[in-house]
Structure 1
Amino acid sequence: MQLHAAIDEYVLYIEIEKNYSVNTVTSYEYDLQLFLSFLKYHGCSTCLNEITKTQVRRFIQYLLGSLKQKPRSVNRKISSLKSFAKYCLRYLTNDFTHGIESPKTDDKLPVYMTLTDLKQLFDYLERSQSRFSMRNELMFKLLATTGIRRSELVSLTWEQVDLVNETIRIDGKGKKERILPLHPHLMPLLASYKASLRSYQIYPTQPVFLNKNRKALDPRGLQVIFKDVLKKAGLPPTRFSLHHLRHTFATLMLQQNRENVDLRTLQELLGHKSITSTQVYTHVEYEQKKKAIDSFRIF
């Protein structure tokens, strides 16, 4: 069986039978097509039975060296290949990814805004008088108070918003659904924003957030808006990204609200599949550790 045919079959499998999200399917397909292109470019056989571990290791070397990809990005591609190889065992007796190890990643702490930074951002959003000031204020306050991903924000429709119960329903990674309560301070803003739209724009299946052409925002467009808002708010646009708002939510939630939030609760709010992903935010305990050391009356 040829590799390209196996990839096509696998993509259909994860899309139809596994019911993976569109973003996940697209990512897996991209990773596998990149591996196929690598084999063709280097004159290697693309017959499924002839793929070797050495070729996989050369592919990883190519990603890290020639393409200068970061270990985290390379690890995702290795994960895609391993999942694909496992599927292909119905045709093969040899798993060409067995024993392949992922490169070590730098365990850097997530970048986040301080409470002062966030208040500075909110202050600008509340003072802004631009055409889209209400939309922007709602978008970025929603990201900062719920921790949803930017892809989840731009795909949000009005049928997912429950003004009565003050919740939003999020379709997260792997099509896993979660219900998030909205902060009480957001409710008047959300109601005003909805009232400012035309009747056809608040139809249940319509996107909540629109661009200047009255069409759904895309993640790239949202990022451009955020960078512009940061600059006008007096914050460094090169320092923060939209994903950092998610880090900010998680970090400040643990810093400012520890009596009401534990890691399990935070895991549910963020929609993490594994609590291991959530544990990175325990770095906030450093502040408590520092206070403990500083207050140690030993000298």
Structure 2
Amino acid sequence: MPRDKFLSYLKNEKRYSPLTVTAYTTDLTQFYNFIKAQYDLTRIEEVTHGLIRSWIVDMIDAGITTRSVNRKITTLKSYYKFLLREGIVKKNPMLKILPPKTSKKLPVFVEKSSMDELLDTVDFDEGGKGRRDKLIILLLYSTGIRLSELINLKVSDIDFNKGTLKILGKGNKERILPFSDNLKNEIKQYLDEVCPIEWLFLTDKGKKLYAKLVYRLVNSYLRKVTTISKKSPHVLRHTFATHMLNNGADLNAIKEFLGHVSLSATQVYTHNTIKKLTNIYKQAHPKA
């Protein structure tokens, strides 16, 4: 089946992460279900650009966000490029598809005073669990790594002599990140108490950490110090980048920390900095 062949290609040749492959799988399953239910089609070769447009309209009418719709369009574009290359289809209907425009939203981040409160005054649980939870939040905030990168960290990825972490990012691309003496001490204390063998972070039952658990614990601790709408691990990534930029870090350096391929993905954080500068200007300048 073309779909299975494509997903195998993403997993084994493109080396996409399990989360990315799952997203592609979900998008394609929804598309196949739509063409079957609405047009009684099962063969991808019979799909036209008009049919794809009707799927897009159906999703928008159902209240699916423009960002999600565009991600599904991206999935189909990749799928049809693969099908064309494999000779499964002769024409690419996606060439006639234009994605709906999205309104750009500024990244949500936690104020520095709130992060200071969380790391300096909030009580974490006693023992290994509390040390793990605090280290997770400190790592996300201090390095800007992704959730998937965090849960896949191994003890062997830490180099205490050089003060660096080896991160396996999207597309299995490695990058080396420095860490502070404070973070170094936290890691050592955690390792001394928990003694993990392979994976750095473990569940209470000694198994490899999973994404939902990290999301729940980050959410619960952020609730103690902030009222922002989103309280997720990714918000700590936004917070890292915004605080770095506000304190004078070079945009290209932040790009390397975050593991972004292009600078355009990092530039979104400049909007938050400009907003802050505007507020300071209005408050401080006599003619503002």
TM over 0.5: yes
Q: CA deviation at 1:182?
A: 0.8
Residue 276 of structure 2 is matched in structure 1 by 287
Q: Please, what is the CA RMSD of the aligned residues? A: 1.9
SS of the equivalent of 2:166 reads: strand
Match of 1:278 among 262, 266, 270: 266
Residue 16 of structure 1 is matched in structure 2 by 12
TM-score by length of 1: 0.89
Match of 1:248 among 219, 239, 244: 239
SS of the equivalent of 1:140 reads: helix
Q: CA deviation at 1:268?
A: 0.7
Residue 185 of structure 2 is matched in structure 1 by 188
Residue 179 of structure 1 is matched in structure 2 by 176
Structure 1 stretches lacking a partner, 5+ long: none
Change over 3 Å in CA distance of 1:10–1:239 after alignment to 2: closer
Q: Are the aligned partners of 1:267 and 1:278 in contact in 2 as well (CA < 8 Å)?
A: yes
Q: CA deviation at 1:294?
A: 5.2
**Cα distance in 2 between the residues matched to 1:124 and 1:103:** 45
Q: Are the aligned partners of 2:151 and 2:211 in contact in 1 as well (CA < 8 Å)?
A: yes
**Cα distance in 1 between the residues matched to 2:280 and 2:229:** 31
Q: Are the aligned partners of 2:163 and 2:179 in contact in 1 as well (CA < 8 Å)?
A: yes
Q: CA deviation at 1:37?
A: 1.0
**Cα distance in 2 between the residues matched to 1:268 and 1:138:** 22
Residue 213 of structure 1 is matched in structure 2 by 205
Residue 62 of structure 1 is matched in structure 2 by 58
SS of the equivalent of 1:282 reads: helix
Residue 41 of structure 2 is matched in structure 1 by 45
Q: CA deviation at 1:27?
A: 1.7
Residue 143 of structure 1 is matched in structure 2 by 140
Q: Are the aligned partners of 1:168 and 1:180 in contact in 2 as well (CA < 8 Å)?
A: yes
Structure 2 stretches lacking a partner, 5+ long: none
Change over 3 Å in CA distance of 1:227–1:19 after alignment to 2: closer
Moved over 6 A (4+): none
Residue 7 of structure 1 is matched in structure 2 by 3
Q: Are the aligned partners of 1:228 and 1:237 in contact in 2 as well (CA < 8 Å)?
A: no
Aligned sequence identity (%): 35
**Cα distance in 1 between the residues matched to 2:25 and 2:287:** 60
**Cα distance in 1 between the residues matched to 2:94 and 2:230:** 37
Q: CA deviation at 1:118?
A: 0.7
Q: CA deviation at 1:237?
A: 7.5
Of residues 7-16 and 246-255 in structure 1, the stretch that sits farther from structure 2 once superposed is: 7-16
Change over 3 Å in CA distance of 1:120–1:64 after alignment to 2: same
Of residues 235-244 and 128-137 in structure 1, the stretch that sits farther from structure 2 once superposed is: 235-244
Match of 1:76 among 71, 75, 79: 71
**Cα distance in 2 between the residues matched to 1:97 and 1:166:** 47
Change over 3 Å in CA distance of 1:158–1:42 after alignment to 2: same
Residue 107 of structure 1 is matched in structure 2 by 104
Q: Are the aligned partners of 1:24 and 1:174 in contact in 2 as well (CA < 8 Å)?
A: no
SS of the equivalent of 2:267 reads: helix
SS of the equivalent of 1:244 reads: helix
**Cα distance in 2 between the residues matched to 1:235 and 1:297:** 32
Q: Are the aligned partners of 2:36 and 2:42 in contact in 1 as well (CA < 8 Å)?
A: yes
1:157 aligns with 2:148: no
Q: Are the aligned partners of 2:114 and 2:225 in contact in 1 as well (CA < 8 Å)?
A: no
- What amino acid is the match of 1:285? I
Residue 263 of structure 1 is matched in structure 2 by 251
Q: CA deviation at 1:236?
A: 3.4
- What amino acid is the match of 2:232? S
Q: Are the aligned partners of 2:218 and 2:231 in contact in 1 as well (CA < 8 Å)?
A: no
What does the per-residue CA deviation read over 1:67-102, in whole Å, with 9 as the maximum and x for residues that have no partner? x22111111110010011111112322111112111
**Cα distance in 1 between the residues matched to 2:163 and 2:240:** 19
What does the per-residue CA deviation read over 1:208-239, in whole Å, with 9 as the maximum and x for residues that have no partner? 111111111111011111222234x3433854
Change over 3 Å in CA distance of 1:31–1:129 after alignment to 2: closer
Q: Are the aligned partners of 1:227 and 1:237 in contact in 2 as well (CA < 8 Å)?
A: no
